[in-house]
Amino acid sequence: GPHNKGSISAIASDFRAIRNTPQDNSPLQIFVKAKRKINDIFGEIEDYVKDAIDYMHVVEKELSILNAEEVKQMETFVNKVHGIRDVLARDHMKVAFFGRTSNGKSSVINAMLRDKVLPSGIGHTTNCFLQVEGSPADEPYLVLEGSDEHCAVESVGQLAHALCKEKLNESQLVRVFWPRNRCVLLRDDVVFVDSPGVDVSPNLDEWIDKHCLDADVFVLVANAESTLMVTEKNFFHKVSTKLSKPNIFILNNRWDASATEPEFLDQVRRQHLERGIDFLVKELKVCTPKEADERIFFISAKEALIARLAEKGFGSSNSLAEGFQNRYFEFEDFERKFEECISKSAVKTKFEQHSQRGKYISNELRNILDKLYHDAQLLKEEKLKQRKDLNDKINFTEQQLMLITQDMKQKIHDMVDDVGQ
């Protein structure tokens, strides 16, 4: 507000106020609006195709210029457009979180969802892939891989229990359907994928093939108290051999721990930042130094979640360590950059294919109708020509008739004269 202009908390709260306004200027809207628009366009294409088919059926009945083949081809377009609209309805933005055990992957997701959705902490080690997605239902539920059954979950405790009870393989996927109206990110079609620690699994290739190939953004949750580990780096090396230039964010989590040693703060931060940039730019070669600078953040997921829960009236944020505001502000900065990145990337990778197919269908549609028009034109000319030929014949016959009649008249006349004489 105007009273404490300039302070970080004021900026942060202005930021929040902007984000929560109904017109919603979240960068995720780039994806949401593009999805709506492309869906409308395919709706129109579907109408055109249907109109064209009705028209062709009429033409087919009345004239002989259409072959059944062309009508059939036109009819396949309806199915194609339907198929594209089905895929489109399921298109979403997917973000996958990786990192070593206990670095705070589940905590980061919870902080972003503004709720304790996923089990985290001691005894709650994530032991399979967990995908959180928005659902229109009012109550959360989960669906195990290979099953259609909706298992109701009232609480995190229950979710953790349900996950422990099942003998799950670590690369198996459990889908958690969380009410859309409880979180803006889920409402706007962001899907979160939580994973077991990269240090516990030998099946990294299977993980990547199964869960990563359609991800729009990867978040490496690192521990700011140590440096990037070889296991973490190796995982992303593997990812970048299978995907061209994956979008990777690095979160140096547990940055609150640095509050106890303020004298090393800048030095440690600079070191982590340098190494992170080197990793993205020189090792993985996925971005430029300038871009990398916008991909690395120093945050505390635990604090961010505490603050957000306190905002909703659960617990208090009084005990948060020195420098919390800065870390919280950086967490929001990360979210903003993340939203921009994921919505742009998803629009490009997902909708580009749809628009190519849309163009192809409308071109084919046009070609068929052009040919039909051309054939109709030819038919018309032919009919006109036939009519002209017929007219000529009639004229000729009339003339002949006239001549014959005149001739006959003359002959009768002569005959009458002859008889008279």
Binding residues among 359-388 for ligand GTP as defined by CB under 6 A: none
Out of 94, 295, 302, 354, point to the residue binding ligand GTP (CB under 6 A): 302
CB 279 within 8 A of CB 296: no
Stretch that binds ligand GTP, among 155-163, 268-276, 296-304, 403-411 (CB under 6 A): 296-304
Residue 157 engages ligand GTP in binding (rule: CB under 6 A): no
Structure tokens at 206: 């299977």
Residue 131 binds ligand GTP (CB under 6 A): no
Mark out the alpha helices in 263-300 (DSSP H runs): 265-278, 289-293
Report if residue 102 touches ligand GTP, rule: CB under 6 A. Answer: yes
Q: Give 300 or 343: the residue with its C-beta nearer to ligand GTP.
A: 300
- Closest approach, Cβ 153 to ligand GTP, in A, equals 17
Crossing angle of helices 28-62 and 68-90, rounded to 10°: 160
**Which x/- pattern over 254-293 shows residues binding ligand GTP (rule: CB under 6 A)?**
x-xx------------------------------------
- What, of ligand GTP, Mg ion, none, does residue 180 touch, CB below 5 to 8 Å by kind? none
Of 279 and 297, nearer to ligand GTP (C-beta) is: 297
Strands, sheet with 173-179, edge to edge from the N-terminal-most edge strand: 151-152, 141-144, 173-179, 129-135, 190-194, 93-98, 217-223, 248-253, 296-298
In angstroms, give the least distance from the CB of 255 to ligand GTP.
7
Q: In 10 A of CB 59, how many CB atoms? A: 16
Task: For residue 350, state whether it binds ligand GTP (rule: CB under 6 A).
Answer: no
Least Å distance between CB 120 and ligand GTP? 3
Taking the complex as a whole, the smallest distance from the CB of residue 228 to ligand GTP amounts, in Å, to 15
Closest CA to 106 of 203, 190, 179, 195: 195
Least distance CB 310 / ligand GTP (angstroms): 15
CA distances from 200 to 61, 212, 222, 234 (A): 69, 18, 15, 13
Quick one: residue 152, left, alpha or beta (phi over 0 = left, psi -120 to 50 = alpha)?
beta
**Considering only residues 85-114, where is the footprint of Mg ion by CB under 5 A?**
105-106
**Minimum distance, C-beta of residue 105 to ligand GTP, in the bound complex (Å):** 4
Paired strand residues for 94: 191
Place of tokens 């971005």: 287
We find the least distance from the C-beta atom of residue 99 to Mg ion, in angstroms, to be 9
| Rg of the chain over all Cα atoms, to the nearest angstrom | 36
DSSP H/E element including 334: helix 324-346
* Between 124 and 182, CB nearer to ligand GTP: 124
Q: Which amino acid is at 211?
A: H
213 burial level (CB within 10 Å; 0-12, 13-18, 19+)? exposed
What is the token pair recorded at 24?
A: 């919603």
Q: Which of 38, 80, 113, 126 binds ligand GTP (CB under 6 A)?
A: 126
Binders in 231-260 for ligand GTP, by CB under 6 A: 253-254, 256-257
Q: Is 325 in the site for ligand GTP (CB under 6 A)?
A: no
Cα 319 to Cα 74, 191, 260, 303, 315, distances in angstroms: 67, 32, 14, 10, 11
DSSP, collapsed to helix, strand or coil, labels residue 131 as: strand
Binding characters for ligand GTP, 80-99, by CB under 6 A (x = yes): -------------------x
Question: Shortest approach of Mg ion to residue 310 CB, angstroms?
Answer: 22
For residue 256 the two structure tokens come to 């609150």
Tokens of 144: 């195990």
Q: Would you say 248 or 301 has its CB closer to ligand GTP?
A: 301
- H or E segment at 401? helix 352-420
Least separation in angstroms between CB 223 and Mg ion = 13
Candidates 12, 46, 95, 103: give the one binding ligand GTP (CB under 6 A). 103
Identified binder of Mg ion from the candidate list 126, 258, 300, 343, rule CB under 5 A:
126
Q: What does 197 interact with, of Mg ion, ligand GTP, none (CB < 5 to 8 A by kind)?
A: ligand GTP
Binding flag, residue 26, ligand GTP (CB under 6 A): no
CA distance 381 to 376: 9
Q: Considering the rule CB under 6 A, would residue 172 count as an interface residue with ligand GTP?
A: no
Distance separating alpha carbons of residues 68 and 185, to the nearest angstrom: 49
Q: Which residues here bind Mg ion, judged by CB under 5 A?
A: 105-106, 126
Q: Which residues here bind ligand GTP, judged by CB under 6 A?
A: 99, 101-107, 120-121, 124-126, 196-197, 253-254, 256-257, 300-302
